[in-house]
């Protein structure tokens, strides 16, 4: 069994394009640092480290420093919570290989009722994944919990 790097660094221009669909969360001038293997984006700002959780559709201040983030994700619990380490290892062991521009994406997003398991994972372009989920979460963010979804609209 090999070692799995749990983060990826993408070129700034790729991240800029990928994050366009998330402008509504207020990213502003925060600087992207890296992504998880599932497309969550971690940012540096004057007040600390922020995380864009693309499954939950949230953007929040998580740590007061990069050292605090590193200390937390260096624990098994932190690696599972913020980097989905267990699921990443299961995907690796299942032979889901990521290309240089890819992360793991859910075939059917859990926000739309998909399973949170390796059988629902595939390698997908970071840009495609962030664009798709940014549009979905923007449409869903003001709906009350439990609202029945009858359809979604995705811009090309």
Q: What is the pLDDT of residues 80-130, one digit of tens each?
A: 999 999 999 999 999 999 999 999 999 988 877 888 899 999 999 999 999
Single pTM value for the model: 0.88
Are the beta carbons of 153 and 21 closer than 8 angstroms? no
Residue 21 pLDDT: 93
In this predicted structure, what is the pLDDT of residue 1?
40
Q: How far is CA 116 from CA 1, 34, 93, 104, 154, in A?
A: 23, 23, 16, 12, 22
Segment 14-30 mean pLDDT: 93
Q: State the Cα–Cα distance between residues 110 and 120, nearest whole angstrom.
A: 9
Using CA atoms, how far residue 129 sits from 78, 134, 141, in Å, is 23, 8, 17
Look at residue 2 and tell me whether its pLDDT is greater than 70.
no
pLDDT of residue 141: 66
What pLDDT is stored for residue 26 in this prediction? 94
| 3-state class (DSSP) for residue 62 | strand
Query: 3 — phi, psi (to 5°)?
Result: -85, 140
Q: What pLDDT does 61 receive?
A: 96
Please give the residue that has the higher pLDDT: either 53 or 4. Answer: 53
Find the mean pLDDT for residues 49-54: 97
Whether 148 shows a pLDDT value over 70: the answer reads no
């Amino acid at each position: 069994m090999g070692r799995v790097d749990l983060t990826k660094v993408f070129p700034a221009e790729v991240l800029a394009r990928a994050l366009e669909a998330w402008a509504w969360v207020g990213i502003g001038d925060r600087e992207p640092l890296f992504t998880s293997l599932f497309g969550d984006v971690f940012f540096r700002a004057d007040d600390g480290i922020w995380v864009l959780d693309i499954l939950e559709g949230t953007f929040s201040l998580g740590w007061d420093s990069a050292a605090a983030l590193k200390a937390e994700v260096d624990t098994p619990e932190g690696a599972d919570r913020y980097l989905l380490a267990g699921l990443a290892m299961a995907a690796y062991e299942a032979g889901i290989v990521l290309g240089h521009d890819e992360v793991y994406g859910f075939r059917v997003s859990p926000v739309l009722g998909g399973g949170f398991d390796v059988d629902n994972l595939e390698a997908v372009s970071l840009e495609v994944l962030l664009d798709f989920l940014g549009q979905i979460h923007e449409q869903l963010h003001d709906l009350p919990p439990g609202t029945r979804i009858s359809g979604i609209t995705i811009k090309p």
